[in-house]
Structure 1
Amino acid sequence: MDPHDYLKLDLIADKRINNYSLFTNADLPSLLNHENIHLPNPKAVNPSNSTDRSSGNTVAGIDFDKGSTTVVFLYQGGIIVVAESRITKGSYIVSDNFEKVIHITETIVCTISGCTADGCYWVRRLITACQLYELESETKISVSAASQIMHNLLQPYVIFDLNLAVLIAGYDRTGPSLYYVDTHGVCEKGNMMAVGGGSAFAFATLDTNFFWEMTDNQAYEIGKQCIFQAVSFDIFSGGIIRMYHMTSKGCNRVSETDSDDVVEQFRSLNASD
């Protein structure tokens, strides 16, 4: 692949430009062919032999930034997407205001969890591929197709111990959909999912309280409860809690609340009960 093609890919991913005049029709097929996109391997036979991202241990003096808890579920009124914003490096809090919900297209969003560097890089590539697909085909990409593209991008690098899990949700002509994709080769469809360090606590709350016929306000409350459990029991979850509500008309931010305020709110309610 020509080096100039990488520049074109980065221009779309970084700036989300709408002016595609820098492309010719001859460029598009080669750019859309993912077999032509090859990234050089790291200067090691297998980086997993010298680093352990999953546990945070560092053998080679590398400590990776990590994200924590994201929750997505479908119900009769649409899709609820909730994520906290904390990034940690070992026991050190790098940021309490990182946006983990990323818009892939106008109708599809993606949440990232795991190594922040891996997440930012591969989601940029996903945005690029989806925009190029829509440009060439002149149709909206489906959620399943976007998930399969992400799966295909990550598949060749399974042996390199990348640390990334994404939830891809949105609307297409078939209705609402939700997929889980990670760097271990998994690509699964579901109705409710939680990913990250606090996902076990969040999913326990979601599994207990979920029902399909809930109202919008009930869905918002369950989303808050999921993150409340996560930030209460997982020290690596926290910061700002952002909640989005997706429908066939688009994606709207419902709330943006400090996690300390949410914890205080639910603890007060529990104390009063």
Structure 2
Amino acid sequence: MELIESPLQDLKKEVSTGTTIIAVQYQDGVIIGADSRTSSGSYAVNRVTDKLTPVHDYIYCLRSGSAADTQIIASYVSYYLNMFSIEEGCLPTVKKAAHMFREFCYQNKQYLLASIIVAGWDEENGGCVYNVPLGGSIIKQPFAIGGSGSSYLYGYCDIHFKENMTEEEAISFVSKGITEAIARDGSSGGICRIATINKDGVKRRTIYGNELQKFWEK
């Protein structure tokens, strides 16, 4: 007798998701960028998702993994950073925010599918980028990449990254990296959102699909 698999069994299967996120230090702060496609398996759930998530005035996070997991972690961190700012009467550092993310991810690593890049500017350290990968470790880096599209970008970053870039050079580095990933990763796509974070605040811009440089163009 042949057993018929219940349609409900599909709900128990792991769903593959994808994205491309990049953060890089430059002379005066950090540049962050992401594509805008949210996928569930082979289905694009949302083509214009905003993946640049603010957790405080000068601190943002870039999320990859489960959208639900990373959203709830970001909301908790934002709440505690605001409480800290009110109680201490000062702005939190990027390092503090990154360690909050690390604590949540590490303490719940068996339940979460969450990889976070934390980037921002503070008076104590200037522009900083922290990577909090799966499992909840924490690494301070001059740049960080994440998501399914990042596997296509290691060679690009090795060749084109340099320290103390100008704002224009850093924006070009991020936008071209997103373009490379969108061209090759089926789970990355849509538009490119970029934010500049420095002592003057946050300046955001959007590069639409028809404005992105084609990966074969020099």
**Fold equivalence (TM over 0.5):** yes
Task: Give the equivalent residue in structure 2 for 1:143.
Answer: 94
Q: CA deviation at 1:214?
A: 2.9
Q: Deviations over 1:13-42 (max 9, x none)?
A: xxxxxxxxxxxxxxxxxxxxxxxxxxxxxx
Task: Give the equivalent residue in structure 2 for 1:257.
Answer: 207
Q: Does 1:165 align with 2:115?
A: yes
Structure 2: gaps spanning 5 or more residues: 1-8
The equivalences for 1:198-237 within 5 A come to: 198-237=149-188
Q: Which runs of 4+ in 1 moved over 4 A?
A: 62-65
Q: Deviations over 1:73-129 (max 9, x none)?
A: 112242110101111111001001111111111111111111111111111011011
Give me the CA root mean square deviation. Answer: 1.9
2:189 to 238, 261, 266: 238
Q: Which amino acid is the alignment partner of residue 215 of structure 1?
A: T
1:205–1:225: 8 Å Cα contact kept in structure 2? no
Task: Give the equivalent residue in structure 1 for 2:126.
Answer: 175
Task: Give the equivalent residue in structure 2 for 1:80.
Answer: 31
Structure 1: gaps spanning 5 or more residues: 1-57
The percentage of counterpart residues that share the same residue type is: 24
The 3 A distance-change label for structure 1 pair 234 and 211 is same
The 3 A distance-change label for structure 1 pair 183 and 102 is same
CA distance in 1, matches of 2:120, 2:26: 13
Greater fraction strand? 2
Q: Which amino acid is the alignment partner of residue 168 of structure 1?
A: V
CA distance in 1, matches of 2:198, 2:62: 17
Task: Give the equivalent residue in structure 1 for 2:3.
Answer: none
TM-score by length of 2: 0.88
Q: CA deviation at 1:159?
A: 2.1
CA distance in 1, matches of 2:185, 2:39: 12
2:106–2:137: 8 Å Cα contact kept in structure 1? no
Greater fraction helix? 1
Q: CA deviation at 1:261?
A: 3.8
Task: Give the equivalent residue in structure 1 for 2:4.
Answer: none
The equivalences for 1:49-88 within 5 A come to: 60-62=11-13, 64=15, 66-88=17-39
Q: CA deviation at 1:190?
A: 0.7
2:26–2:127: 8 Å Cα contact kept in structure 1? no
Larger radius of gyration: 1
SS at match of 2:109: helix
TM-score by length of 1: 0.71
SS at match of 1:104: strand
SS at match of 2:187: coil
Q: CA deviation at 1:193?
A: 0.6
Mean Cα displacement is larger for which, 77-86 or 150-159? 150-159
The 3 A distance-change label for structure 1 pair 63 and 100 is same
Q: Deviations over 1:34-85 (max 9, x none)?
A: xxxxxxxxxxxxxxxxxxxxxxxx8653554734110001122421101011
Q: CA deviation at 1:171?
A: 1.3
1:231–1:259: 8 Å Cα contact kept in structure 2? no
Q: Which amino acid is the alignment partner of residue 181 of structure 2?
A: A
CA distance in 2, matches of 1:62, 1:129: 34
> Larger RCO: Structure 1 or Structure 2 (Cα < 8 Å, ≥ 6 residues apart)?
2
What is the number of residues matched between the two proteins? 209
